[in-house]
Structure 1
Amino acid sequence: MSQPYLTAALYQFIDLPEFAQWQQPLQALCDQHQVKGLLLLAHEGINGTIAGPPGDVQAVLDWLKRDPRLANLVHKEAHADHNPFYRMRVRLKQEIVTLGVPALNPALNAGQYVKPEDWNALISQPDVVLVDTRNDYEVGIGSFEGAVNPHTKSFTEFPQWVAEQSQPGGALHGKQKVAMFCTGGIRCEKSTAYMKTQGFEDVYHLEGGILKYLETVDADESMWWGDCFVFDERVSVGHGLVRGPHQLCRSCRMPLGADELAHAHYVRGVACPYCHGSRTPEQLQSLAERQRQMDLAQERGDTHLGHTQASSQQSRQQKVAAQQEALQGLPVLYSFRRCPYAMRARLALAYAGIACQLREVVLKDKPQALLDASPKASVPVLVLADGTVLEESLEIMLWALRQNDPDQWLRPTAGSLDEMQALIARHDSEFKPALDRCKYPSRYPQEDAVAAAATAQAFLAALNRQLSTSGYLYGRDPSLADMAIRPFVRQFAGIDEAAWQNHPWPHLQAWLLRLTDSALFEQVMEKYPAWHPDEAGVLFR
C-alpha cells in the first residue's frame, strides 16, 4: 500500500532582499494545501522541510519555483503513513542556517560538490580530513567511518573549532584537503565557504548531504554507520531513508536508541539516561502529567497538544476544563511577549524545563489577579505553588536555575556568579536607561539623545571586546549573564537594523544571532493570546 504523505527537505542560497514579503503568502498557501512543517526565510535564501499529501507538497514547490531564482530548487523526498509535523510555520531569520559570520556568501564561494556515488573514493584518500559539521548529539547516532567530530553544541561554535584545530597538533593543522558533510547539505555550503576564507585550498562537501547519500548508495557499499538524525517526528532514518528505530526524549530532546529505551532510567515522556537526575520532583510530576494528558488525548482521538487545530467533537467548556486540569498546581507566570525583562525570565524557565501556567498580559489592561499578586504590576511576575511571589526578572532567573541548570549557566567556565551579577547590575542601571532614551526619544524630550546613544554604544563596544576572547561573556558556553543581557541588546539592534549591521561589533552581532536563531529563543517567543480570568492559561515549558 502506498504511503499517503510526502516529506520534502529543501534549501537554496539566493539573494532574497524581499524575503519578509514572502512570509504571509507562503504561510497561506501551505495552510490552504494542509502542508505542515517549517520554512525559514532570510536575505540569503530559503531552508526547511514540509510534509503533506504529494500533490499538495508539489503545489508549494511549484509556487516557489515560479521565481526564476528558485527555478532549479532541489528537494529530497521521503514517504510516510502519517505527517511527521504538527503545524506549519514560516519564519523570518537573519540566516537560514546560523554560523554568525555575516559577510559570508555561500552562493558564490562554497566548496566543491561531490556526488554521493563519488564520495567513498574521496574520503578514502589518506590526505583528506573528513569533518562532520553537525551537532554532537546528531553525530552520536551515526556518521561516516573515520570522520572527525568537532563536538559542537551549535553551528556557531564551528569557526572557533576551526581556529583551534588549525594550530599545531590540531586535526586541521598543515592540511589542505578537507571533506565536509551534514544532514542535507546546507551547513556544508556555509562551512566550506568559511574554510576557504581561512586559507584552505581544496574543500569538498557531499552534494545533497547524508540524506542523498543514504538514498543513493547501496547499504552494502556504504561507508556510513548507524542512523541519521532528522528534525521531525521520524527522529532518524537509515539507508533508503527508511525510518529508524530512534525516539526522542520529551524531557531533554536527545535521540534514544534501543539501549536507551531499555534502560532503567528511561520513563516515557519523563526521563532518559541522559537527563536522569537533572529534574526536580516538581518537574518530573509535570512531565508525567503532560504525558498522561497526551495519552488520554490519543485514546479519545483528540488532537495532539502541539497541534494548532482542536478536535471538532470537543466543546469549548471541555477543552478549558482539560487545560485547567493540566495546569493545576503549576507556578503562574504573568508575562508580556516583547518585554525584555519577561523575555529573560522565560528563557531561564524554558531552559530549566520548569512548566508554568503562562498568562499573557495586556499592559494597558492589567488583570486584577496580577495586581493582587504584585501591586507594582510590572511583568514578569511568577507566583509559585506555595503562594510565594517573585517580582523581579533576575530573581525569577536565579530561582529557575537553582531548580535545574544542566549546562551550568550559574557556574561559567570563566568568571564567577558575583562577576556576572555585577555586569548585569551595570547593564540594568546604565545600558537599559540609555536604551529607553534611544528607542523612545519622545518619552524623554528633555534628555540628550546623543549622550544616551553614546552611553549605549560604549557599553555595547565593551561587550564586544569581552566576547572577542571566547564567544560568550564568561567562557565558551552561555551563562546567566548572556541570557540576562541579550534580550536588551536585541531591542537595541531592532531600533535601526541597517545601523546595527554597520557597527564595528562582529563578536557582539554573532553572539546575538546565536540567541535569536536558537530553538530556545523560538520557544520563548511563541505568540499567545491575552489571558482572561474566565479562561485557562497556557502551558509553558
Structure 2
Amino acid sequence: MQSPATSYINIAAYKFITFSDTVEKRPQFLEFCQKHNLRGTVILSPEGINLFLAGKRADIDAFLGWLRADPRFADIEVKESESEHQPFNRMLVKLKAEIITMKYPLIKPEEGRAPFVEPLTLKRWLDQGHDDNGKPVVMVDTRNAFEVDVGTFDNTIDYRISKFTEFPQVIADHKAELDGKTVVTFCTGGIRCEKAAIHMQNVGFDSVYQLDGGILKYFEDVGGAHYTGDCFVFDYRTALNPQLQETATVQCFACRAVVTPREQLSPAYVAGKSCPHCATEPASSAAPATQSHA
C-alpha cells in the first residue's frame, strides 16, 4: 500500500515482443499518458517496449490496465518504487530500432529467453559460494562504468564499458577467463542483462543466466545482501538504496556526472553549475553516456 507521505508511484517495465505498429501506437500512448498526468519515457520498437513512468497511484493503475488490454503486453512485469516528488519533468514516447541498443539485430529474446535466476536463488548461490551444481558463480555487470561506480554486487566483474554496444566485444575478449564458471549477468531492471545473456549463449557460453528483474527486483525481494552502494536510476532521483528509497547522490547539471554526498562537500560543487568532475575539465569529457535505460 502506498504510504501517506508518498505522492508518486514509479514504474519500470519492458518486454521483448514483435511490435509492428509502433508508428500507429505512438500518439495513443502519448495521449493516454498526458491525459493521466504521467511523466517519463516510453520506448516503442519493432522488438518490444521499454518504459519508465511516474504518476499518482490511480493513474499508474489506469495505464497498466490500458497497456495490458493489448494481448501482447498482458503479462508484462512491472517493478515499482515510491517517491515524494515527480522524478520526471516531461512525457516522451520515442520510436527506436531497438528498445536497448546493442547493434546485434539477430538477437530475438522473444523467441526464447536466456535462462534466468531469481533474486532469492541468487542470494543462496552467493551465500554458499557456488550454484546448485557446485560451479563457482561469477557476477558480470552489463551497465556503464559510471553506473557501476554508484553501487554493484560484491566481487563483480566490471569491464568499464561506456555504452552497451561495447559489451559483445569485451565479453569476447574475456571469454576464456569465464570458462568453467556459472556467469550471472545483471543490470538495473533486466533488459540489458537479458540481451547480454542471450548474446553470450549465442557465442558459446554454456552456463550463463540473467538476474531476473535486475538490481531493482533483487532489492525488492532480497534487500542489499552481497551488494555495496546504491543503484543508479535514470531519473531525478539519481540513485536508490536497497530499500528502494531515494538517496543523497545527485547528478551534476553541467556535466551529468554522478556526485556522491562526499563530493558534494567540495568547493567545486555548486548545485546546478559545477561539480568536482567538471570544474577543472571540459564538461564534454566528464559527462557519462546515459543512453541506456535499464
1:72 deviates by: 0.6
- What is the distance in 2 between the residues matched to 1:28 and 1:80? 24
Structure 1 contact 129–175 (Cα < 8 Å) conserved:
no
1:269-308 to structure 2, matched below 5 A, reads: 269-279=272-282
Relative to structure 1, the CA distance from residue 113 to residue 218 in structure 2 (aligned partners, 3 Å threshold; closer, same or farther) is: same
* Residue 136 (structure 2) aligns with: 127
Residue 233 of structure 2: which of 230, 233, 239 is its match? 230
* Residue 30 (structure 2) aligns with: 27
1:519 deviates by: 4.3
* Residue 190 (structure 1) aligns with: 195
Secondary structure at the aligned position of 2:209 is classed as strand
**Structural RMSD (CA):** 1.8
Matched, 1:406 2:281: no
- What is the distance in 2 between the residues matched to 1:19 and 1:57? 21
Larger strand proportion of the pair: 2
* Residue 241 (structure 1) aligns with: 244
Cα deviations by residue, 1:14-60 (Å, 9 ceiling, x for unpaired):
11111221100000000000100000000110001101111111111
* Residue 89 (structure 2) aligns with: 86
- What is the distance in 2 between the residues matched to 1:272 and 1:175? 44
Matched, 1:213 2:213: no
Letter in 1 for 2:39: K
- What is the distance in 1 between the residues matched to 2:35 and 2:166? 39
1:203 deviates by: 1.0
Could you tell me the TM-score, scaled by structure 2's length?
Answer: 0.91
Letter in 2 for 1:8: I
Residue 10 of structure 1: which of 3, 9, 13 is its match? 13
Unaligned residue ranges in structure 2 (runs of 5+): none
- What is the distance in 2 between the residues matched to 1:116 and 1:10? 17
Structure 2 contact 144–163 (Cα < 8 Å) conserved:
yes
Cα deviations by residue, 1:332-369 (Å, 9 ceiling, x for unpaired):
xxxxxxxxxxxxxxxxxxxxx6xxxxxxxxxxxxxxxx
- What is the distance in 1 between the residues matched to 2:144 and 2:78? 22
Secondary structure at the aligned position of 2:94 is classed as strand
Letter in 2 for 1:238: N
Residue 254 of structure 1: which of 253, 257, 263 is its match? 257
* Residue 177 (structure 1) aligns with: 182
1:176 deviates by: 4.8
1:462-473 to structure 2, matched below 5 A, reads: none
Secondary structure at the aligned position of 2:237 is classed as coil
- What is the distance in 2 between the residues matched to 1:180 and 1:218? 18
Cα deviations by residue, 1:452-502 (Å, 9 ceiling, x for unpaired):
xxxxxxxxxxxxxxxxxxxxxxxxxxxxxxxxxxxxxxxxxxxxxxxxxxx
Relative to structure 1, the CA distance from residue 162 to residue 109 in structure 2 (aligned partners, 3 Å threshold; closer, same or farther) is: farther
Secondary structure at the aligned position of 1:12 is classed as strand
- What is the distance in 1 between the residues matched to 2:277 and 2:115? 38
1:110 deviates by: 3.0
* Residue 159 (structure 1) aligns with: 168
- What is the distance in 2 between the residues matched to 1:406 and 1:53? 38
Structure 1 contact 234–244 (Cα < 8 Å) conserved:
yes
Cα deviations by residue, 1:254-299 (Å, 9 ceiling, x for unpaired):
11111110123222222212222124xxxxxxxxxxxxxxxxxxxx
Matched, 1:67 2:70: yes
- What is the distance in 1 between the residues matched to 2:275 and 2:140? 29
- What is the distance in 2 between the residues matched to 1:198 and 1:44? 21
Could you tell me the TM-score, scaled by structure 1's length?
Answer: 0.50
- What is the distance in 1 between the residues matched to 2:222 and 2:175? 32
Which structure exhibits the higher relative contact order, with contacts defined as CA atoms closer than 8 Å and separated by 6 or more residues?
A: 2
- What is the distance in 2 between the residues matched to 1:202 and 1:87? 42
Larger helix proportion of the pair: 1
Instruction: Report the number of matched residues.
Output: 281
- What is the distance in 2 between the residues matched to 1:77 and 1:262? 32
1:278-427 to structure 2, matched below 5 A, reads: 278-279=281-282, 406=285
Secondary structure at the aligned position of 1:240 is classed as coil
